[in-house]
Amino acid sequence: MNASTLGVRRFRLSNPRYGLLLNIPGLLIVLLWVVFPALLLLAASFLRYDNVNPVSFTGFGNYQRLWNSRVFGISVERILVFSLGSTALTALGGLLLAMCLSNVRKGGGLLRSLMIIPWAVPAVVSGLIWKWMFSPDFGVVSDLLMKARLIAKPLSIYSDPSLAMWGVIIVDSWTRIPFMGIILLAALLSIPEQIHEAARVDGADTLKRFFYVTLPMIQGPLLIGLMITTIFSFRTIDLIIPLTAGGPGRATYVIGYYIWDQITKSLNFGLGAAAGVVLFLITSLITMIFVYLLREK
Amino acid sequence: MRDRILESKTLSYSVAIFVLSLMMMPIYWTVVTAFKPDTETYVFPPVYFPSNPTFEPFRLLFEFYPFMDYVANSLIVTVSTTLIVTVISMMAAYGISLYPFRGGRVMLLTLLATRIIPPLSLLLPFYLVVSYLGLVDTLLSMIIANIYLTYPFAVLIMKAFFDNFPREIIESAIVDGCSRTGALFRIVLPVGAPGIASAGIITFLWTWNEFVYAFVFTSTPKAQPVTVGCFDAIGDVFVHWNQMCAGALVAALPGIIFVFVAQKYLIAGLTSGAVKA
């Protein structure tokens, strides 16, 4: 009697209709806030939609224009350089910090808090702060580098194209190292001590253990961190807007800035939409590559 | 010998402190500049330890710019978004995780896929909708945008927490005569509070820190949030850098506070939302 009542109650707990009911508001959000705008984006990308001509259907016209556009080509090339640089620097910085923090006890909480701070600062504010630090007239970066005798006179990321790319890469990694560090730190702390112990008993030294024990054990989280950092770096725009505004010339004119320009300055919505679709396709491709790599884990 | 050095706590502390000091330089520089008079701001080589710290930049910031309005706008948008998103995503995650239903899996995959769509791509359609609805330059337009920007991640964070939730507790509560919704309020909420807090805090910070959508949707201090205020008004043609740094500090304050008082929840949320989902 009791048991059968229990059984019925159990059945009630796994009530699918209740689960669905709870998800109705969420479903509405997904449909109205994601699916609908996504379809609208797709539709707009097939329209000739600017502030001069009447709106009309143009098929793949916008995509064709992107394909032939020298500026769009530059923006794709710039984003590849930017993303590669930023992701590499983020991975190195995040791994280094995570390794150190996984080895400390006292004060670890404070050090962790310090590590996360750049993540919590609004990206546009990071851009503004760093713009002030990079100032060629009063900049603290130039002064510190001069004091360290690495450069002879103040440098300006606002006139030297290759320095400009370095500048935005450094600022972008500054904002992304915290996330990478957090993920890798959690992964490092979850490796059982016995595994290190066993490797030590087998005579593996520190470097060997790093390459043959630690790295393989954190491979999954590392790949996830790389994937997220890469796809997020593709949409970086908040900090480039105040920092270099795509310049000097088109040195930091990444694909996101191209879209930004179409929407806010050129007001060519059709072209902006098509570029938005292309950005989505590139991001999906990168995600699929990472998912494929992760599948074997 | 080499191994002893590599594995020593001293090396770990030294490297961590060195790298973190570099990373803290921008924060230090913002704080210092925000309290400098003009005479110590516009000099080279720069002044590292101001001799006459002053509140003047803050006073000017609030006197010459509608900075109070920016802060109020940010607060309204952020609190509203956080409440809406936390409640709806909690319901969704509770349902997906504990009451599996057909299509739940698809729902989850859709949410994951949503995270792949660059928000920048959807900026245009959102702008078209917002202007069609006549919501340009309103707080509501930003609440709408931030729901899109934060909802999927909030669900993923909470789902990861609910997945680890001991089902037996709910089962025994229901056996004891508690309704499923009662179980949500009496058991899942208290026990799952860390997950809900993580999702709520991250939603709060993302909304407070959002710039791109807010910049396109708003044009006057009636609706502009702090991030747009910092960039648009203060970061304008001639920049008063010490006032800009004062504004930057105000804009970065919620984030910095949460990092220190809620570090545990931030870390838990970011790792679970990213890795486990």
Mean pLDDT for the stretch of residues A7-20: 62
Q: Is residue A258 part of a domain?
A: yes
A50 belongs to a structural domain: no
The beta-carbon neighbor of B255 closest among A17, A105, A121 is: A121
Residues B140 and B236 occupy one common structural domain: yes
**What are the tens digits of pLDDT across the range A126-169?**
999 999 999 888 889 989 999 888 888 888 888 888 899 999 99
pLDDT at B236: 61
Q: Which two tokens stand for residue B149?
A: 């920007």
Same domain flag for B133 and B149: yes
Nearest by CB to residue B114, choosing from A34, A41, A112, is A34
Kindly state whether residues B130 and B192 are assigned to the same domain: yes
CA distance A114 to B263: 10
Report residue B150's pLDDT band, with 50, 70 and 90 as the boundaries.
very high
Q: Which residues pair with A265 in a beta bridge?
A: none
Handedness of CA A259, A263, A268, A273 (dihedral sign): positive
For residue A97, being part of any structural domain is answered with yes
Q: What's the whole-number average pLDDT of chain B? A: 88
Assign A79 a pLDDT band (cuts: 50, 70, 90).
very high
Q: Encoding tokens for residue A67?
A: 């394909």
pLDDT attached to residue A297: 65
Beta strands in chain B (DSSP E): none
Q: Do B116 and A260 touch (CB under 8 A)?
A: no
Inform me whether the pLDDT recorded for B115 exceeds 50: yes
Peptide bond preceding B45 in cis form (omega within 30 of 0): yes
Same domain, B156 and B262: yes
> Which residue is it, tokens 């003047």?
B56
For A19, the closest of B100, B155, B175 (CB atoms) is B100
Q: Which are the contacts of B18, defined by CB distance < 8 A and separation ≥ 6?
A: none
Q: What number of other Cβ atoms are within 10 A of residue A192's Cβ?
A: 9
| Whether B104 and B213 share a structural domain | yes
Segments forming the whole domain that contains residue B240: 59-276
Q: Do B128 and A269 touch (CB under 8 A)?
A: yes
Amino acid letter, B37? P
pLDDT above 90: percentage of residues in chain B: 52
Q: How far apart are CA A18 and CA B95, in angstroms?
A: 7
Say yes or no to pLDDT of B91 above 60. yes
Tally of domains within chain A? 1
Q: Are residues B262 and B155 in the same domain?
A: yes
- On whether any CB of chain A is under 8 Å from the CB of B151, the answer is yes
What is the CATH number for A219?
1.10.3720.10
DSSP state of B52: S
SS3 B242: helix
CATH at B227: 1.10.3720.10
Kindly state whether B117 is in contact with chain A, defined as any CB-CB distance less than 8 angstroms. Answer: yes
Q: Do residues B152 and B67 both lie within one domain?
A: yes
Residues of B in contact with A113 (CB under 8 A): 259-260, 263
- Its pTM stands at 0.91
Same domain, B134 and B207: yes
Residue A15 inside a domain? The answer is no
Q: What whole-number percentage of chain B has pLDDT above 70?
A: 96
- State how far Cα A54 lies from the chain centre: 37
What are A57's strand-pairing partners?
Answer: A47
Asked if the structure places residue A241 within a domain, the reply is: yes
Say if residue B200 is in the same domain as residue B222: yes
Residues in chain A closer than 8 A to B157 (CB atoms): none
Say yes or no: B245 and B171 in one domain.
yes
List the domain range (segments joined by +) for residue A283.
74-295
ipTM value:
0.91
CA-nearest of A96, A102, A71, A112 to A249 is A71
Name the band, by pLDDT with cuts 50, 70 and 90, for residue B225.
Answer: very high
Per-residue confidence at B69, pLDDT binned at 50, 70, 90?
very high
Among residues B33, B55, B77, the one where a domain terminates is B55
- How many domains does the structure of chain B reveal? 2
| B42 and B176 fall within a common domain | no
Whether B188 has its CB under 8 Å from any CB of chain A: the answer is no
| Residue A49 · residue A269 · CB < 8 Å | yes
Q: Give percent of chain A with pLDDT exceeding 70.
A: 95
In a domain, A282, yes or no: yes
A45 located within any domain: no
In the three-class reduction of DSSP (H, G, I as helix; E, B as strand; rest coil), residue B230 is classed as helix
